[in-house]
A and B are shown apart, each in its own frame.
Chain A
Amino acid sequence: MASQNMRPKVIQLYKTLLHLGKDYPKGYDYFRTKLKAAFVKHKDVTDQKELEMLLARGNYVVKEIEALYMLKKYRTLKKRYYPD
């Protein structure tokens, strides 16, 4: 069954996102609840195409969060050390 093969990928994505959530500005608990809800919402999806689409979206979110952290750090430092 196709959806069985996707299972490790989904779990991997969930773990990656959870790991990223530890640094989330609004707190880990806030992030975890939201993340879980987002995954539970699609728990009955079995269609291969749709699963792949959702995974791609998840991986896109990973990139977005990494970019968010980087930008936040850069801006904080810029504000602190480069006053003009």
Chain B
Amino acid sequence: MSAYRVLVGCKRVIDYAVKIRVKPDKLGVVTDGVKHSMNPFDEIAIEEAIRLKEKKLASEVVAFSCGPTASQETLRTAMAMGADRAIHVEIDGKEAETLQPIHVAKLLSKVAQEEKIDIIMLGKQAIDDDCNQTAQMTASLLNWPQATFASKIENDNGSFKVTREIDGGLETIKVKLPAVISADLRLNEPRYATLPNIMKAKKKPLAKKKPSDYGVEVKAHQQVLKVEDPPVRQAGQKLETVEDLVVKLKDGGFV
């Protein structure tokens, strides 16, 4: 049995702990001077790929990202976690803002064909746009089977048994390789990139590409009309007596 080659997508997003602020022109969110990190779901995907490698099931783990030059930091993190090498498709500011899952899916499918990839491992969605489309689109572009929202992956003689998180329960499916797998939150616990590993990751190869190298056009198909803050929760009230409470509840029609 030959070992698989795994491609992992990792998106650079605003850090999960940062409070998101909408730009004054209401056409996006503030990204300048804001801490960015790897999309947490992609971290889970990377971790799963590295575990496959540690089990000697995978021969090589390739990290992939597209976006501005800063995305390379994310790829370095992926390599510090254990990916062998990285491919960065550079897309500049304006185009990166309107980059959609369809573009990423096209790039991923091209890279997968070029690199003779067996498994594409992705996070189920990014925490910035919450699209949850890339894995599905990539699978259909390549005409590969897909196992989305994976919470458990087991090797089963050349195919994979994947437990999926679905509404109200779990579903177990069997996929033949090559396949696209997207990771759900409970798939594993990603490791922390340690300082020595970050240093070592700086020496790992990182290929810089352009969308045109893969014959993909990253033109925007949509226009952002408005970005708004979610509605603010109304403040509560403190009441002195039970009677007040009863009156309030009656006014509100709760009793």
A residues touching B (Cβ–Cβ < 8 Å)?
Answer: 15-16, 19-20, 25, 66, 69-70, 72-74, 76-78, 80-82
Instruction: Give the residues in chain A near B17, CB-CB below 8 Å.
Output: 25, 72, 76
* A16 to B195 CA separation, bound complex (whole angstroms): 6
Q: Which of B16, B195, B198 contacts A73 (CB 8 A)?
A: B16
Tell me the smallest distance from the CB of A30 to a CB of chain B, in Å: 15
The B interface, classified by DSSP as helix, strand, loop or mixed, is: loop
When A15-B195, A16-B195, A73-B16 are in contact, do A78 and B190 touch as well, CB less than 8 Å? no
B40 touching A73, Cβ below 8 Å: yes
B192 touching A76, Cβ below 8 Å: no
* A29 to B235 CA separation, bound complex (whole angstroms): 33
* A72 to B37 CA separation, bound complex (whole angstroms): 15
B interface residues, how many (CB within 8 angstroms): 11
Instruction: Give the residues in chain A near B198, CB-CB below 8 Å.
Output: 19
* A77 to B184 CA separation, bound complex (whole angstroms): 11
* A80 to B40 CA separation, bound complex (whole angstroms): 12
Taking the complex as formed, is B251 at the interface, i.e. its CB lies under 8 A from any CB of chain A? Answer: no
Query: Which single residue of chain A is at the shortest CB-CB distance from B198?
Result: A19
B195 touching A70, Cβ below 8 Å: no
Tell me the smallest distance from the CB of A27 to a CB of chain B, in Å: 12
B16 touching A76, Cβ below 8 Å: yes
B residues touching A (Cβ–Cβ < 8 Å)?
Answer: 16-17, 40, 127, 185, 189-190, 192, 194-195, 198
A70 touching B192, Cβ below 8 Å: yes
Query: Which single residue of chain B is at the shortest CB-CB distance from A17?
Result: B195
* A14 to B7 CA separation, bound complex (whole angstroms): 35
The 5 closest A-B pairs by CB, nearest first: A66-B192, A19-B195, A16-B195, A76-B16, A77-B185
Instruction: Give the residues in chain B near A16, CB-CB below 8 Å.
Output: 194-195
Beyond contacts A16-B194, A70-B189: 7 other A-B pairs, Cβ-Cβ < 8 A, are: A15-B195, A69-B192, A73-B40, A74-B185, A74-B189, A76-B16, A77-B185
* A38 to B198 CA separation, bound complex (whole angstroms): 25
Tell me the smallest distance from the CB of B73 to a CB of chain A, in Å: 13
* A9 to B146 CA separation, bound complex (whole angstroms): 47
Query: Which single residue of chain A is at the shortest CB-CB distance from B194?
Result: A16
Q: Which of B40, B189, B190, B192: most chain A Cβ within 10 A?
A: B192
Tell me the smallest distance from the CB of A70 to a CB of chain B, in Å: 6
B40 touching A77, Cβ below 8 Å: yes
Q: Which of B16, B189, B192, B195 contacts A77 (CB 8 A)?
A: B16
* A15 to B16 CA separation, bound complex (whole angstroms): 25
A78 touching B185, Cβ below 8 Å: yes
* A73 to B13 CA separation, bound complex (whole angstroms): 14
A82 touching B192, Cβ below 8 Å: no
